[in-house]
Structure 1
Amino acid sequence: MDILRVSDLRIGFTIHGLARDVVKGVSLRVPPGKTVALVGESGSGKSVISQAIMGLLPRAGAITGGEILFRDPLTPGASIDIAGLPSEGREIRALRGGRIGMIFQEPMSSLSPVHTIGNQIEEALQLHRPTPKAQARELIEVMLKRVGFKDPHRAFGFYPFELSGGLRQRAMLAMALICQPALLIADEPTTALDVTIQAQVLDLMRDLQAEMGMAILLITHDLGVVANMADEVVVIYHGEIMESGPVEDIFRRPRHPYLKALLKASPHFDMREGERLVALREARTRPVVASKPAPPQNAAPLLSVSNLRKTYTTGSRKFFGKGTLSTVVAVDDVSFEIRRGECLGLVGESGCGKTTVSKIIMRAVTPDEGSIAFDDGQACTDVLGLRGEALRAFRPRVQMIFQDPVSSLSPRMTVMNILREPLVVHERGEGVEQTARVKALMEDVGLDPRFLNRYPHSFSGGQRQRIGIARALALDPDLIICDEPVSALDVSVQAQILNLLKDLQAERGLTFLFISHNLAVVNYMADRIAVMANGRIVEIAPRHTLFTNPVHPYTKALLKSVPFADLDRKLNFKLVAPGGASDSTHWAPAFRQEENGPALAHLPLGDGHFVLAQAGASVREVA
């Protein structure tokens, strides 16, 4: 008997008096102890279905047909039609968080910022299984230990902002599992996580599933995660099921054109030189025309970063006594070069210092030490030495595409105002010229100029990211820093944005610093790749060399953690980054900084390949 059976489910939304169907006759099942993946793009209806199962549909939404049958293993023979229950009745509240648990996509916005992790988990426990205070604390600490907190007693008192993204997701998992549900709904549980943390969270979900015998409905757009986690797959598009079946059939014998297109849109390590991702809908149909000649081979690097160091002091000072101040080294002796027309990838886990480096280059953060030289072929500029008007005149040369297009675009400005703002600030042209420039930018990124009077909220995630790209291009920069520009996007929209960036690079001769934790994306975009861990660049090499011959143990751990959309190359979760990939105690001695030992240096391995190892170690030994 299936734990969950959804039959001919129809969900409609009424907005401004107009009714619209968003889920159109969906049927799926979740067998006990199995994982069913619901796959599709943003707007396909995945999350709305999960909200309906949990009785959490927004006020504008309503179930207009079909049934959602939940069969609880603790009460065999009986089944509950969730679709027929009042949305705030006693029956649905007993199921929600009790027998059906849910992990939400963004743990920071779904955890209360003013309550500790322990308080929030205890609330879920006391609502469904009233327990004496001391016993409840004991149960919660046991659960925190099971989901991977090293010191659960201390973690009980942490607030969400004190935890990393991976730990916040583990806290969400502990809250969802504290009542031992029969069904766990995981809505994009690893979208914003690094590959190593993602692998650990997925491994944890598999272990807890085997231990508790629960079923999982996994909502995701990452086909690599699906191939490694799912027993059955349901593919949804615009509220309708396109294809469903066992994971073997879906990946080895896909039949529907939409599923085939999704599989082709995912970047992978086996792509040939010059091979292009097949986006479901290209951002634009205009042919690519290379307008800028390639720079000579012996030209000076456009950007030279040398010996950057940045420390932060955390803690609190007291009026009397020493307080609890501690120093964190965010960037430690980082050096690299970016040649004109090149894309340098910068990869690493959250907290490794990638974004701090980008902020230093942008002059948003001041380093403690180091230098940055910008050579446009006519003059060499000391970036960190610029002040006042000289700094203002330099800023258009380096622009940034941000990770989250929602928070980086003002909700109170139209697209016209957003794209005109850089032109106005830097006094580029007059009103008519600026309007013409803005329309040309819209066409460059494949958006209709008729949308210029709209606000950002009326665009999809991929369209908002294209507005962010247009804004970065407005001042004709020499260097664009892309900070995780596609991490929050579906695989199909991701392919569209990556192809657009490559086309713009070919047309305008752009230079990119591409920051990401997705190695497959970096492999598609970058010419050379720098790998960063604990504030230092541990390995740097041409793209092909790094993926075929990684040397540093951290690079190897990152590559081992990437889930492939291929059933013949499944992740061995138990071998992935034991104890955390950036924990240097797991590295070979030659790559560790020992007390009173030789200093670490970048050893040359040939053809532009360097690895951070002890200065006395031989190249042959580390390779």
Structure 2
Amino acid sequence: MGVPFIEIRNVSKSFNGNRVLDNVSLTIEEGERVGIIGKSGSGKTVLLSMLKGIREYKPDSGEVVFHVAVCEHCKTVEGPSWANKKCPNCCPHCQKEMEKADVDIYGEDPKTKWLRQRIAIMFQRTFALYGSLTVYENLVEALNKVSSEDASRKALEIAKDIGLANRLLHAARDLSGGEKQRVVLGRQLAIKPLLLLADEPTGTLDPLNAEMIHKIIKRETGPGKSTLLVTSHLPGAIEELCEKALLLEGGKISAMGSPKEVSAKFLSRLTPEEIPKPPELGEVILRVKDLKKYYFSIDKGVVKALDGITFEVRERQIFGIIGLSGAGKTTLSRAIVGVTQPTSGTIELKIGEEWVNMLEPGPMGRGRATPFVGLLHQEYALYPHRTVQENLTDAIGLELPDEFAKFKAQSVLTAAGFDEATIERTLSKYPDELSEGERHRVALAQVLIKEPIIVLLDEPSGTMDPITQQDVARSIKNARNELGQTFVIISHDMGFVANTCEDTILMRNGKIVSRGKPLDVAKELTPEEKNELMNSKNGLL
């Protein structure tokens, strides 16, 4: 047995009458790496925020106590194993011994403030960076909060550790998602945390960047280093990072044990899906022919982001576009929605009986077609201070009579997979009262209410646990069946595409290299593609 570090004692927390944590008790030992698994809305993020001591998450009942060692002379807090040892921060002449202390993370004692400064947290879908500052400046800024001594040298060491020594002068806003997340992690590690709290640290990243983040976290945590609590919707990520895991369900700990055992119990909650017979496909409504997008790069020369792309999408079809990062998926989707102008080729959308050239500028071309193309981006956002009904109507510029607005909102929520019995309550809720899966369905309804001909979904399964992924896949199919909607899904998750789409193209180096049913396309993957596209660790394929 290790040394007890954190005790969560009978903690409960409610928001707007909804109990998110229900009498949770847990002991975490110093240097442990603990994973928290659970579907969206199970209380994972609330528990991590509570351990950081964020005021809005103070327990309604119960307490969170840290067993630490403290030197009051220099305001140093270390793990409990430092008790009765010489303080590492006192000068050699002081030689103060550290004393045991029990600190309530929501207490008023000065020790609470010192403790909070040694707790680092990484939130999902949030890059806690100064966008205009360089990587180097972001790291120095974080180090200066702790100590200005040797901040420059330490920043260079951290940049090397996180694999960004070649990006020191790049502004944070110009980095890729994976690079930004590594800078965030570097900023948190700069404070030499006693406790690292990581909320879905790799949920939105491609497998290559996720692996890099995992390596850094494993290197910096464990016995003799930082204690780790990490949440993830990917059971495989918990198995890779942690030695112990717990399953949160309905605000309670329903299982605790090895990551493999707890993951298996979580995945057993996946219910066999009743697959309704898909509707008969209609005529072709989107035509992409010989689409090319070339640009010049100083270091790479001519880059063929799209190189002769040709395909068609039929009415009421759920069509998948799969490929590695850099394959051309994003460039293709941006061309379809009218953001990127291709070098050559055509994109045509059928509106009524007329084919409209989406690449032709002006009101009879792109201007006419764009309103009929819906886009739900991976980083979607709802208006936090508006109700669901307001998010579906006036907040997005739809000025409708009240009765008509409510009718439309109810119709699209039903199509997005909400139970008719709960829609009335859902309309009056605010986004933070919904689970992630419910927020995604509201965001989908926000797109559907504008009555698009075709909807593009960008990485719709990005930050979701397997159960929520199943719910979202069901909502997409339901919207197709209820409204006759056509979808194009852009993804690097072959499992989600296989469970959702009937037809798929595989992109590689700007070209389509395979097309057909998802499971047939999966047979054409290279070893690298299999590793990254099928190794989603979500248990869906």
The match for 1:2 is 3
Partner of 1:354: 329
| Structure 1 equivalent of residue 287 of structure 2 | 304
The equivalent residue for 1:619 is none
Is the CA contact (8 Å cut-off) linking 1:310 and 1:369 kept in structure 2? yes
Q: Matched residue of 1:384: which SS?
A: coil
Task: Work out which of the residue numbers 60, 63, 74 in structure 2 matches 1:66.
Answer: 63
Report the equivalent of 2:414: 443
User: Contact 1:52/1:83 (CA < 8 Å) preserved in 2?
Assistant: no
SS in 1 for 2:228: strand
CA distance in 1, matches of 2:129, 2:58: 24
Give runs of aligned pairs for residues 423-572 of structure 1, distance below 5 A: 436-445=407-416, 446=418, 448-449=423-424, 451-452=426-427, 456=431, 459-474=434-449, 476-532=451-507, 535-537=510-512, 539-547=514-522, 549-552=523-526, 554-559=528-533, 561-563=535-537, 565=539
Residues 37 and 247, structure 2, Cα contact 8 Å, conserved in 1: yes
CA RMSD of aligned residues (A): 4.1
How far residue 214 of structure 1 moved from its aligned partner, in angstroms, is: 3.7
Aligned to 1:418: 392
CA distance in 2, matches of 1:470, 1:261: 29
Note closer, same or farther for the CA distance 1:224–1:137 as it changes in structure 2 (3 Å cut).
same
| TM-score, scaled relative to structure 1 | 0.70
Aligned residue in 1 for 2:280: 293
1:455 deviates by 5.7
* Residue identity opposite 2:288 in structure 1: V
Displacement of 1:371 after TM fit?
0.6
* Paired AA for residue 148 in structure 1: G
Give the secondary-structure state (helix, strand or coil) at the position aligned to 1:562.
coil
Structure 2: stretches of 5+ with no match in the other structure: 69-78, 85-98
| Cα displacement (A) at 1:37 | 0.6
Q: State whether residues 101 and 185 of structure 1, in contact with CA within 8 Å, keep that contact through their aligned partners in structure 2.
A: yes
Aligned position for 1:233: 245
Residue 27 of structure 1 corresponds to: 25
Deviation, 1:189, is 0.6
Distance 2:401 2:147 in 1: 67
Q: Which of 200, 206, 217 is 2:218 aligned to?
A: 206
Within 1, Cα distance between the matches of 2:513 and 2:263?
36
Give 1:244 shift: 1.3
Q: How does 1:56-205 map to 2 (within 5 A)?
A: 56-58=54-56, 61-62=58-59, 64-71=61-68, 72=79, 75-76=82-83, 79-83=100-104, 86=107, 90-98=110-118, 100-108=119-127, 110-132=128-150, 136-149=151-164, 152=165, 155-205=167-217
- TM-score (normalised: structure 2): 0.79
Check 1:124–1:2 CA distance in 2 against 1; reply closer, same or farther (3 A cut): farther
Aligned counterparts of 1:388 and 1:91: Cα–Cα separation in 2: 65
The CA deviation at 1:190 is 0.9
Shift of 1:161: 0.6
How far residue 363 of structure 1 moved from its aligned partner, in angstroms, is 2.6
- What CA distance in whole angstroms lies between the structure 2 residues aligned with 1:75 and 1:421? 54
Q: Deviations over 1:329-385 (max 9, x none)?
A: 654443333244432222345565433322321234432322113358955443323
| In structure 1, C-alpha distance between the alignment counterparts of 2:189 and 2:526, rounded to whole Å | 37
Q: Do the aligned residues in 2 keep the contact of 1:183 with 1:214 (CA within 8 Å)? A: yes
- Give the Cα separation in 2 of the matches to 1:413 and 1:338: 35
Note if contact 1:101-1:181 (Cα within 8 Å) is conserved in structure 2: yes
| Alpha-carbon spacing, 1:118–1:470, altered in 2? closer, same or farther (3 Å) | same
Secondary structure, aligned partner of 1:501: helix
SS state of the match for residue 189, structure 1? coil
Matching residue's letter, 2:34: V
Give SS of 2:104's match. Answer: helix
Report the Cα distance in structure 2 between the residues aligned to 1:372 and 1:23, rounded to whole angstroms.
50
CA distance in 1, matches of 2:409, 2:19: 36
Match of 1:608 in 2: none
- Provide Cα deviations, 1:382-430, integer angstroms capped at 9, x if missing partner: 33237415655544543333334425x59668626734899969xxx99
Task: Pick closer, same or farther for the CA change 1:128–1:63 going to 2, 3 Å.
Answer: farther
**Structure 2 counterpart SS, 1:184:** strand
In 2, the alpha carbon distance for the partners of 1:439 and 1:362 equals 27
Q: Residue 494 of structure 2 contacts residue 534 of structure 2 at CA under 8 Å; is this kept in 1?
A: no
Partners of 2:51 and 2:403 lie apart in 1 by: 53
